[in-house]
Amino acid sequence: ALLAGHPRDLAGRHVVVTAGGTREYLDPVRFLGNRSSGLQGVALAETALARGASVTLVAANLSVPAPAGVELVEVVSTEDLRQATLKHAASADAVVMAAAPADFRPTSFADAKIKKRPDGQAPTIELVENPDVLVEVVQQRGATASPVVVGFAAETGDANGSVLDHARAKLARKGCDLLVVNDVSEGKVFGRADSEAVILAADGSAHPVALGHKSLLAHAIWAEVATRLT
């Protein structure tokens, strides 16, 4: 599904891509997770290789195979993803955060399987917020313009604003260079080969990408990244 004749504008560059959805375990058999398949992250990794980059793929519980030729770093939880991403981002030219990290984790992990109680009383699961890896990647690069940092946002419009309103606010809050916005109001995107998105830039520009294969969106993202490399 790769484009023929794509530019080799990432030759000699090292990029980090995060993919999939993190899991936060409650006990040895149960976890809190999300619907991210890893398809978009895998498409980003494949297309970066095709454009000449060396690629580190930080892979969280992918439901699709990782492409050959990447440096594969497998992670489970948001904390694992945080450590791997910060480590590899330190020497990267670009970091694209396509993974869906769990926002919350259980405050404690039960070493033994949680059993049903004879009185029928259901347990209450207390949660604590996870660190924001994207914000930490932006903080780690400090005042330099490298690496170029790209976030993703799956948004729905609501009473407080449209999909793009929420996305603009998120881009400003996170401090990244680009934010790829998907409208997920009808369960679109998850586990599908196709996606439609808008690539918002911190400079105020917006680049719509029509519905098409996730590798086409990936190429559009790399094209925007390539113009911002230092």
d(CA 229, CA 32): 36
Give me the helices (H) in the chain, please: 39-50, 78-89, 133-141, 163-174, 214-228
Tokens of 151: 């976030």
d(CA 23, CA 195): 24
Q: Which does 99 bind (CB under 5 to 8 A by kind): Ca ion, ligand CTP, none?
A: ligand CTP
The verdict on whether 160 is a catalytic residue reads: no
Rule CB under 5 A: which of 178-197 touch Ca ion? Answer: none
Is 86 marked within a binding site?
A: no
Q: Which does 222 bind (CB under 5 to 8 A by kind): ligand CTP, Ca ion, none?
A: none
Task: With H, G, I as helix, E, B as strand and everything else as coil, classify residue 73.
Answer: strand
Rule CB under 5 A: say whether 103 interacts with Ca ion.
yes
28 vs 157, beta carbon nearer ligand CTP: 157
Q: Which does 73 bind (CB under 5 to 8 A by kind): ligand CTP, Ca ion, none?
A: none
Is 133 marked within a binding site?
A: yes
Selecting among 34, 61, 130, 182, the annotated active-site residue is: 34
Is 174 marked within a binding site?
A: yes
Rule CB under 5 A: say whether 132 interacts with Ca ion.
no
Helices 78-89 and 133-141: angle between axes, nearest 10 degrees: 20
Task: With H, G, I as helix, E, B as strand and everything else as coil, classify residue 61.
Answer: coil
Rule CB under 6 A: say whether 80 interacts with ligand CTP.
no
Name every residue whose Cβ is closer than 8 Å to that of residue 169 and which is 6 or more positions away in sequence.
161
Residue 60: CB minimum distance to Ca ion, A: 13
CA 75 to chain CA centroid, nearest Å: 13
* Positions marked catalytic: 34
Residues at the interface with ligand CTP (CB under 6 A): 78, 97, 99, 101, 103, 130, 132-134, 151-153
Residues at the interface with Ca ion (CB under 5 A): 103
